[in-house]
A and B are shown apart, each in its own frame.
Chain A
């Protein structure tokens, strides 16, 4: 995985995790572009996108969009499940998670993500948070 972004329907970034070294400027440009593209898509459309040479996999949960960028040969469906798994974990931790939980406790959302994905690779369910 190259990076993961969480943003709201208003296009506000809620979480960003980069697994590839990029300059600040590039990061900003990428997230701006992607947020715009994804928000413009209709709900019934495909969850996958081709963007530059990357595959973008995104899914909307309530008011929050989860978006991952993977390489072309990666499995899109499993990426979708990674997103889903992450949401499940957040849900378990916060107890019926909502956007506000993530806004106010974003550092914990980061911790959970770090336990779940290390170096952009998923691990099995984390039982303990440390």
Chain B
């Protein structure tokens, strides 16, 4: 039989070429006539007529019973051609299927081709193809099997996969490698459209990976790439195999016909590199397996052809994705340099792209190429420009933001592509409304300038509203409402009622959100003065009073009520109060009388919404309500007494909502000033351009100087960024650690997840130098001191010094640290603390330390012991850290935080001595439970964007694995379990002083699928690491 097959195979090319010759000379063929006919035409209209005529004749012939398959093939080709020109030939679809079914060899192939071109994956006609495919898969003709597998790999109805799957599986053991390869690719297609259908044959994929034919093996890599992408931890055991394969490929062990332009199997190499980068990401031990082969790949790929550049580029990407190794990074960086500096524009583009990948890890690399980047910024090709801007966007910091935004805006003015505009605009936008409102409300030093700016805003907004408010964005409308409500009185001669009439249409706009409407109504309430306004208010109340939206109705009610009572309005909404934080009685104690009266009258006691929901859920026994959905409460906290800013605009407004939690926030009406970059200057928003467009006549020298200037303004601050932010590269330089002692009771804002913004204005000046703790140590004595906030009362505090209690005496000749523990201050001894670890010992000084976790802080206790017989004098302890700031508060989360220090002292008879030590704190020392309700959790969850997903081990011994696992995490990491519903659990914690991290856990196939979200980008990853550790240690 195989003889027959071989014959067919060898005969086919000649058949094809015969045909192709006739095609080349096809003056007589009908397709040729059609094509020529079209080219001779001059107008679109004529073409349309010709094609319509053609289609009519095709239609006639295909439905005629006398048409042979050979003719049918010809007709199909013409139908495909018409479709390609954009004319519909749907009548021929069914005939394409028929041709595939009844035709032979080439005719059949054309039928399959027509089907794959005509039909969409979801087309019902495809079902008619299934039988044909089944028949062909079982055919003894190799070519028919091939065709069937090809079409299955291209287009196949998802629901019918089970029907063909056994046959395709069977082909995996076919003696011909081309069949095996096509079968693997068909399975790849199945995996893409319906992964669960092929789950049971994963072992067969492994077999394909081990196939003796490299072509089959490389086809299986496509499947592995997808599977590894989905779940890297499931395939770690294959890392070694992939590395070995790559080694063999790079080493040229494959047959020569796998070479492409004398490079061994480049496609295979790139696919392997991509898989490796997935496997090595965040995994040190896996990465270590790869270093050698990556090095080899870099070395082998000589710079001479596009294909080697392609491999190099993939290699560099992999090196920067996996666990870093300094030596490789250096080589990769050099490689990127070559790309960036290349005169070939395609390579330059890729160099810039690579830079955007790596610049967050190694900002210095951008510094090295700053002049090239500047040149690219003015490149004539918009794509290069766009990529450069992307790069600049990634290196934006507070110092260069102005120049970069300027460049972005310049680009936006030129660009006509809406998509790019939206993309770039979206990146710039989030801070703008906040900054602008802040500028307006805080103002400058000069009263007159303030007035002018506000007036300008009022005037321009009025004209915008008069024009076409429907096209403005929701946020902008909110800003407009606020500004008009607040400042329209500045414009002389402007009647409040005019503004009211301009704002009123906002309520009618269909696309206005409830929030926008509320803002408009609040603004109106502020303005409502005089009988004319009262009538407008009445009008509005009549029109919208029946709205289903309770928030809106409340606002309307307020408007109506306050319009009628001017004296009350001036008390509730005083004008020109400035930014003094409002005193909000968040416990609502003034209502106590009312409440008790109501209770006495038999009213039901108040239940907070989450409690109500819980009770509801209990009644129904099963809650299917996802906790992400919250009631439309977003405005309800803005009671009449407040003058709200658009809370939704603030970046950290996740919590503002429920009035019951106001107590923690000290007036959520205040602007969130922290974390907002100040991009608005005194001179307005980037109106003055310093880095002007170079004049044409300007001398070259001048232009260069300008570029230098631009460079220095663009790359300012990057150097320090790399030194403080990047322990990755081993370059972290410790900066002097600033300590600050806070007055007692001030740090009481914890308990919620939000940074307390109101008191940020009154932060006492920090002590910028390292803390000095000069003291004399009594002879042969032990002592302890604390560094940290909220010092316990027993320690005497004076000016940033901690004075040792000289009575504490420890016999240090006893190495046992038990005694040290006993010298801990009483308040601390009951709290959880770490082991006491020796820091260093030097001559006659011994230092050891431990850290203690309190609810609101982490305390570092340093034990200083003098082992000599004489008293040491002038003892100074300095501490520095790159990761921690203000007492022990992490400046940004990382898995471990290093603290370094120097202790110096002087013995009476000797020289001054000093010794160095370091101390490591783990992230878990700074994690505290965050107590929130399920509903608050839901709201917070939506507010955060930085997330990480991972599958964790599930403790499966106990009867309730989820509860056990979460319990373990709670005990080890101090997280708070918010709720556990069926197989899902939600957990919340926060970093000291604020930033929350939320965790959503779900039991899935024996694993715990966790999804972490936080406001800080690094926090989820770091916390995940500790979760993994905690579970692994168990």
Contact = CB atoms under 8 A, between A and B. Distances in A.
B35 A81 contact: no
Interface stretch (B306-314, B487-495, B578-586): B306-314
A127 B10 CA distance: 11
Contact of B345 (A44, A81, A110): A44
Contacts of B260: 81, 85, 125
A2 interface: no
Contacts, number: 152
A130 B9 contact: yes
Interface in A100-128: 101, 103-108, 110-111, 114-115, 118-119, 121-125, 127-128
Given A76-B350, A103-B35, A108-B20, A129 B154 contact: no
Nearest to A76: B350
A76 B346 contact: yes
B383 A48 contact: yes
A119 B270 contact: no
B526 interface: no
Nearest to A21: B121
A52 B147 CA distance: 34
A119 B346 CA distance: 26
A46 B381 contact: yes
Contact of B84 (A13, A44, A111): A13
A47 B346 contact: yes
A77 interface: yes
B242 interface: no
Interface in A6-42: 12-17, 19, 21-24, 28
Given A13-B84, A105-B24, A124-B267, A75 B314 contact: yes
Interface in A46-93: 46-52, 75-78, 80-81, 84-85, 93
- Most chain B CB atoms below 10 A, which of A93, A108, A114, A124: A124
B836 to A, nearest CB: 49
B188 A129 contact: no
B345 A77 contact: no
A47 B258 CA distance: 26
Contacts of A46: 345-346, 348-349, 381, 383-384
Contacts of B13: 128-129
A114 B150 contact: yes
A21 B122 contact: yes
B32 A45 contact: no
B197 to A, nearest CB: 16
A77 B270 CA distance: 11
Contact of B307 (A19, A81, A101, A110): A81
Contacts of A24: 88
Judged by DSSP, the binding face of A is mixed
Contacts of A111: 109, 113
A75 to B, nearest CB: 6
A129 B178 CA distance: 11
B320 to A, nearest CB: 13
Interface string B783-804: 0000000000000000000000
Interface string B343-359: 00110111000000000
B192 interface: yes
Given A81-B260, A114-B150, A105 B120 contact: no
A105 B77 CA distance: 9
A123 B120 contact: no
Contacts of B113: 107, 110-111, 114
Interface in B38-85: 77, 80-81, 84-85
Interface stretch (B214-222, B509-517, B902-910, B986-994): B214-222
- Most chain B CB atoms below 10 A, which of A19, A22, A107: A107
Nearest to B150: A114
Contacts of A104: 23-24, 26, 29, 31-32, 35
A78 B185 contact: no
B21 to A, nearest CB: 10
A44 B20 CA distance: 35
Interface in B147-193: 147, 150, 153-154, 178, 181-182, 185, 188-189, 192
Contacts of B222: 119, 121
Contacts of B85: 12-13
- Most chain B CB atoms below 10 A, which of A17, A21, A49, A121: A121
A125 B266 CA distance: 12
A75 B269 CA distance: 12
B86 A45 contact: no
Contacts of A84: 306
Contact of A119 (B142, B192, B348, B350): B192
B147 A123 contact: no
A78 to B, nearest CB: 4
5 contacts: A22-B120, A94-B24, A114-B154, A123-B185, A130-B142
Interface of A: 12-17, 19, 21-24, 28, 44-52, 75-78, 80-81, 84-85, 93-94, 101, 103-108, 110-111, 114-115, 118-119, 121-125, 127-130
Given A104-B32, A127-B257, A129-B13, 15 more contacts: A17-B117, A24-B88, A45-B380, A46-B381, A46-B383, A47-B345, A48-B349, A49-B383, A75-B310, A75-B313, A76-B350, A104-B23, A118-B153, A119-B222, A128-B178
